[in-house]
Structure 1
Amino acid sequence: MSSDQVFSDFFYNAPDGLKLHARVYGEANTGSWPVVCLPGLTRNARDFHELALYLSTDAATPRKVIAFDYRGRGQSTYDPEVKNYNVGVEAGDILAGLAALNIEEAAFIGTSRGGLIIHVLGMMRPAVLKAIVLNDIGPLIEAAGLAHIQSYLERDPAPKTRAQATAAQRSVHGKDFPALAGANWDRMVWALYREADGGLVPDFDPRLVDIVASLDLTQPLPDLWPQFEALAAIPLLAIRGANSRLLSIDTLQQMRQRHFMIEAITVAGQGHAPFLETGSLPNDIAAFLDRAERQDSSQ
């Protein structure tokens, strides 16, 4: 158990033997679908801490929540083969973790890259997906959004203190997130950095930056519309930041047209990707999961 006794650290082996990590909240909670949380490209399980606490301690429907660190992020081992940092391998890692936890089906929450992994899981093992929350991600990614990610990852600062880190993140992302307060930025920094060498460093394999930098955004980006349409029978909540550069209004509208069980929320004053612990989002997500589970049990 962690020091504050709200989650346990779970370590398991990937199919290729790499040691990976996840956080498990509400281990004793049974009787309702567990929730699997999948973070963005360079993020980790800590991003979901507040939401996981909310879902695992909900008075009406307390759920087990599993938040994963992908290989090369957080407490998971860095991969010596950089080519393994791809959504296909990472989807296989998630399935291996669920098997180690004896979880056969769950609701999934995916932020950015986590949502892409959910699309892949839908092709690899659709039965594992009972409900889906996509946080500012869809089957079509805007090149402008990826260019913005390239830009800030390439010039990511090396702060010495958390105050410096918070100031740097607000400088880069503040225009896209005018709704956020100081505590929100503090939580972001806590999740993104770890202490090392007398300062702070981003808590991921730095070679991930090279992968993003190598993307050729002058060429058309592949889409995942066939994979998205394969999810059409699964209840889905799409969350979009009103200032998102990655998920366009047009793509969200197309998602509405191609998925007959979709609900959508646009988060004012936030960009890519909305902080899921803010405003009414925890309650909105919990209510969506409850509706989906009730509908499933009535069939």
Structure 2
Amino acid sequence: MTEPTLNYVSCPDTNGGHRMAYWQWGNPASRHVVVCAHGLSRQGRDFDVLAQALCDKAGGDLRVVCPDVVGRGESDWLKDPMGYQVPVYAADMLAMLAQLQAQAPITTLDWVGTSMGGLIGIILCGQPGLPLPVQVRRLVLNDVGPAIQWEAIVRIGTYLGLAGEFDSVQAAADAMWAISTGFGPHTPEQWMALSRHMVKPVSGEPGSRFRLHYDPAMAVPFKQSTEAATRQGEAMLWQLYDNIKAQTLLIRGKNSDLLSPETAQAMVQRGPHARLVEFAGVGHAPTLIAGDQVDVVARFLLA
């Protein structure tokens, strides 16, 4: 597998700005860009397998860009934790797309969003008049929709932001697997590949322990949300979803506790009339590294 290049974009905020990192695969001059946006506590290297497969199948004429949403991975941490919210993330994506456009004009833009990354995609695709280089052509929503099951939010809140240190990457991988079995079956090698980018050395010294890659403070606004506020936000998200013009693929883990079957069916019947594909034996959320999952996404984006 080849390695992506690490890049940065400067993004404004009320505390002097921050840098967002993004990983770029494929041909940096390609006019066809696929953005892959990760879930709440994840980072852009989650998409290594998918990005490599897309570039290979596209025959060298594709740019795949995988941001580390602010507070994660190689991106800066925010001075104000209340900035860790989806509208801020969407604004950062606009800054990144403007930089990509300046580097090489974009004529085709697609979006793959897992969980939180899908909510960012709904915001960008559902608001006419945003300064996108071009409108999103094809949108992949991975196990997320305008309505999110409150029980899943409570479950995520039990572990989000809990700081800790690990003696090894393997120990961290084991701890993460304990809260991530909903991702579905993975070989030890697959899980280690997903896990190694989820931790950072506590110090630069040899033999250093490891910590999770993200700012624990991003849990602050998440844990302040209430069921009533979440339900109020659904109406706005449905309105945005109904505005989407992009061809839309909805992926759902059949055992998902976040995206209900009822919400998935409603997404098929309204707005962009998403095409629904479900994967058995998987909950929230498919990691898009299994061959059948990669093939579904690749066929949709590269048809």
Tell me the equivalent position of 1:10: 7
Tell me the equivalent position of 2:173: 166
1:246-273 deviations in Å (ceiling 9; x for gaps): 1011100000010454211111111111
1:286 aligns with 2:289: no
1:26 aligns with 2:22: no
Give, in whole Å, the separation in 2 of the partners of 1:290 and 1:284.
10
Moved more, 177-186 or 280-289: 177-186
User: Aligned ranges for residues 7-156 of structure 1 at < 5 Å?
Assistant: 7-16=4-13, 17-28=17-28, 30=30, 33-58=32-57, 60=59, 62-102=61-101, 104=106, 105-122=108-125, 123=127, 124-125=130-131, 127-153=134-160
Q: Residues 72 and 59 from structure 1, CA distance in 2 versus in 1: closer, same or farther, beyond 3 angstroms?
A: closer
1:184-229 deviations in Å (ceiling 9; x for gaps): 3212312322221422211111101223222223665221110001
1:256 aligns with 2:249: no
Identity %: 29
Give, in whole Å, the separation in 2 of the partners of 1:213 and 1:237.
30
User: Aligned ranges for residues 212-231 of structure 1 at < 5 Å?
Assistant: 212-217=222-227, 221=231, 222-223=233-234, 224-231=237-244
TM-score (norm 2): 0.86
Moved more, 80-89 or 218-227: 218-227
Q: Residues 59 and 100 from structure 1, CA distance in 2 versus in 1: closer, same or farther, beyond 3 angstroms?
A: closer
Query: CA offset at residue 62 of structure 1?
Result: 4.4
- Give the alignment partner of residue 189 of structure 1, picking from 195, 199, 214: 195
Q: Which amino acid aligns with 1:92?
A: A
Q: Which amino acid aligns with 2:292?
A: S
CA contact (8 A) 1:38 1:109 kept: yes
Q: Which amino acid aligns with 2:174?
A: A
Tell me the equivalent position of 1:237: 249
CA contact (8 A) 1:6 1:26 kept: no
TM-score (norm 1): 0.88
In structure 2, stretches of 5+ residues that fail to align are none
Q: Residues 83 and 220 from structure 1, CA distance in 2 versus in 1: closer, same or farther, beyond 3 angstroms?
A: closer
Give, in whole Å, the separation in 1 of the partners of 2:29 and 2:99.
17
Give, in whole Å, the separation in 2 of the partners of 1:42 and 1:155.
11
Query: CA offset at residue 38 of structure 1?
Result: 0.8
User: Aligned ranges for residues 197-216 of structure 1 at < 5 Å?
Assistant: 197=203, 198-216=208-226
CA contact (8 A) 1:55 1:62 kept: no
1:12-64 deviations in Å (ceiling 9; x for gaps): 21134312211110134635x21001111121111111111111122557421
Tell me the equivalent position of 1:274: 286
SS at match of 2:139: strand
CA contact (8 A) 1:132 1:234 kept: yes
Give, in whole Å, the separation in 2 of the partners of 1:135 and 1:276.
9
SS at match of 2:227: coil
SS at match of 2:297: helix
CA contact (8 A) 2:164 2:212 kept: no
In structure 1, stretches of 5+ residues that fail to align are 292-299
CA contact (8 A) 2:34 2:111 kept: yes
Query: CA offset at residue 6 of structure 1?
Result: 2.9
CA contact (8 A) 1:179 1:268 kept: no
Give, in whole Å, the separation in 2 of the partners of 1:156 and 1:72.
14
